[in-house]
Amino acid sequence: MRVLVTGGAGYIGSVTSAELLRRGHDVRVLDDLSTGHREAVAAEAAFFEGRVQDREVVDAALEGGVDAVIHFASLSLVGDSVRQPRHYFHENLGSALSLLSAMDRARVRRLVFSSSAAVYGQPEVEVIDEDLPLAPVNPYGHTKAMIETILQEEARARGLSAVALRYFNACGADGRLGEDHSPETHLIPRLCQHLLGRLEDFEVFGSDYPTADGSAVRDYVHVKDLAAAHAAALEVLGDPGLVALNLGTGRGASVLEVLRAAAEVSGTELRAPAGPRRPGDPPRLVASRARAEAHLGWVPRHSELVTILRDAFRWHREYPEGYGAAS
């Protein structure tokens, strides 16, 4: 298949592009490098530098026939979205709408969309399944939920075939590809930087949650497993409609469990002070993965906590500057 990957210079997009190339797909990457890295794009992929909102560059990227699009490109910092909601709605909805128009012009009907567990907000359930009502609690989550609604309506009106993949916590690394965000807000890369002496302040947010050890519980899924799910999603596209699928492991891990796994793989003693809860952080977010398994035959194979931490730590040790100052 010929696949256009928007945001393919970013963390999950680059690992997915590499996986698609390994499976023999023809990959085109469109990215404005706002948070991504040119070095993360495989030499075998055609690269189009520009914004998804830029008609000229998207039309060029779709020229000559593309079978499907995977849309990763997005602003995705929750805190930023709370501080500048209009900017987030403008960017995330604007890029999705521009992309859909361009796909229409090029007669491309298949789309895989990067959604998020943020569409669920703060549900008080042990395990989140896709039938739970969407109730985002920040502008970032709202943009993802609104784009899902747009896709549903486009499917009805124009025969779009779409899969929305709601990722839980993406983490880990794949060979030379890893997580290099600035600022870095995610637990595991921050922890790796801390263990390598590159990040001084490290605290655990919240020690009084109603969980077994008092720290927050999340569902950590290896980026290689996410990439495999995207490849599988391409295979099921065809019939008009939107299917929304959680990508998580179905198992939760507390922050303290993550810390213990990190200490184990790094062989380093770890003492992290407990700070206050972060506003808006729910105690527990764990996915049901039954629907992804039923629709895609997807089973996570790399998402054991120790595997995730080993891969992430190795990447940060090998690439302490991330992709480097050049990007």
Q: Which of 19, 28, 32, 192 binds ligand NAD (CB under 6 A)?
A: 32
Which 87-106 positions form the footprint of ligand NAD (CB under 6 A)? 95
Q: Which of 76, 246, 249, 266 binds ligand NAD (CB under 6 A)?
A: 76
Tokens of 124: 């008080």
Q: Which segment (2-10, 151-159, 258-266, 315-323) binds ligand NAD by CB under 6 A?
A: 2-10
- What is the spatial distance between Cα 121 and Cα 181, in angstroms, rounded to a whole number? 23
The residue (of 184 and 214) whose beta carbon lies closer to ligand NAD is 184
Q: Total residues at the site for ligand NAD (CB under 6 A)?
A: 27
Q: Annotated catalytic residue: which of 11, 88, 140, 209?
A: 140
For residue 167, indicate whether it is catalytic: no
Distance of closest approach, residue 271 Cβ to ligand NAD, in angstroms = 26
Q: What is the CA radius of gyration of the chain?
A: 19
Task: Report if residue 136 touches ligand NAD, rule: CB under 6 A.
Answer: no
Tokens of 14: 């680059």
Task: Report if residue 31 touches ligand NAD, rule: CB under 6 A.
Answer: yes
C-alpha angle 86-88-90 in degrees, rounded to nearest 5: 65
Distance of closest approach, residue 238 Cβ to ligand NAD, in angstroms = 23
Distance of closest approach, residue 57 Cβ to ligand NAD, in angstroms = 9
Burial label for 60, CB within 10 Å (0-12, 13-18, 19+), is middle
Q: Are 213 and 272 in contact (CB under 8 A)?
A: no
Distance of closest approach, residue 227 Cβ to ligand NAD, in angstroms = 11
- What is the spatial distance between Cα 88 and Cα 112, in angstroms, rounded to a whole number? 20
Report how far Cα 267 is from the mean position of its chain's Cα atoms.
29
- What is the spatial distance between Cα 146 and Cα 130, in angstroms, rounded to a whole number? 15
Task: Report if residue 323 touches ligand NAD, rule: CB under 6 A.
Answer: no
Q: Which residue do the tokens 């997005």 mark? A: 74
Identity of the residue numbered 29: V
The residue (of 283 and 322) whose beta carbon lies closer to ligand NAD is 322
Task: Report if residue 7 touches ligand NAD, rule: CB under 6 A.
Answer: yes
* Residue 178, φ and ψ in degrees, nearest 5: -150, -170
Identify the sign of the CA torsion 18, 24, 25, 29: positive
Task: Report if residue 249 touches ligand NAD, rule: CB under 6 A.
Answer: no
Task: Report if residue 11 touches ligand NAD, rule: CB under 6 A.
Answer: yes
What are 196-199's contacts with CB under 8 Å, separation 24+?
A: 196/316, 196/317, 196/320, 198/320
The residue (of 116 and 215) whose beta carbon lies closer to ligand NAD is 116
Which 166-225 positions form the footprint of ligand NAD (CB under 6 A)? 167, 169-170, 181
Which 38-67 positions form the footprint of ligand NAD (CB under 6 A)? 51-53
Q: Are 186 and 173 in contact (CB under 8 A)?
A: no
Question: What are the residues binding ligand NAD (CB under 6 A)?
Answer: 6-7, 9-13, 31-36, 51-53, 72-74, 76, 95, 114, 116, 167, 169-170, 181
Catalytic residues, by residue number, are 140
